[in-house]
Amino acid sequence: MSDVEMKSPKSAKKAKKSDRTSSASAAKSGKTYEERVEAVNIISKPLACKKSTKKAHKLVKKAASCKRIRRGVKEVVKGLRKGEGGLCILAGDIYPLDVYSHLPILLEEKNVPYLFVPSKQDLGAAVHETAHLRRPDQGQAGKEGWRQGV
């Protein structure tokens, strides 16, 4: 046999699809998963693998569309004090560490599962992708003036 491996049509199709999705996600953000992992801080453990990161982003999108998400350190801490549970997904590339270094300890005390994903930009994009913010038009605030947009 030569250097080229013989693949079944199904495995070739699967490999082609995975190459396409990984190149599409890298083209959107400009960085691959491995490059994002290099920028992760020291306390980011457990860090989600590539597949788990994609699943976490899907979960965040779904939670954001249902309005069941707490964004930011203050909201998360307030929810924990009130006894709310769930899964906490933290970004691993936050600097300075003092901003959220207390959260893993607090989450472990409250028995809330958590994991770190490599990029705060991707996590924020997953949240804001489904959110629809409405604000009044600048020129027509007194009339019907609501419009959909940023």
What was the pLDDT predicted at 31?
86
Residue 57 has pLDDT above 50, yes or no: yes
Q: Please state the rounded mean pLDDT for residues 79-87.
A: 92
| DSSP code for 32 | -
Please tell me the predicted confidence (pLDDT) of residue 28: 56
Tokens 């997904």 belong to residue: 89
pTM of model > 0.85: no
84-143, pLDDT tens digit by residue?
989 999 999 999 999 999 999 999 999 999 999 999 999 988 888 754 444 555 555 555
**Type of residue numbered 71:** R
Count how many Cα atoms sit within 13 Å of the Cα of residue 16 in the half-sphere of its side chain.
7
Residue 75: pLDDT band (50, 70, 90) is very high
What is residue 67's predicted lDDT score, i.e. its pLDDT?
86
134 beta partners: 148
- 90 contacts 43 by C-beta, under 8 angstroms: no
Q: Print burial letters for 2-36: b (CB count within 10 Å at least 16), e (below 16).
A: eeeeeeeeeeeeeeeeeeeeeeebeeeeebebeeb
Q: Residue 133 has what pLDDT?
A: 47
* 80 compared with 21, residue with greater pLDDT: 80
d(CA 145, CA 109): 48
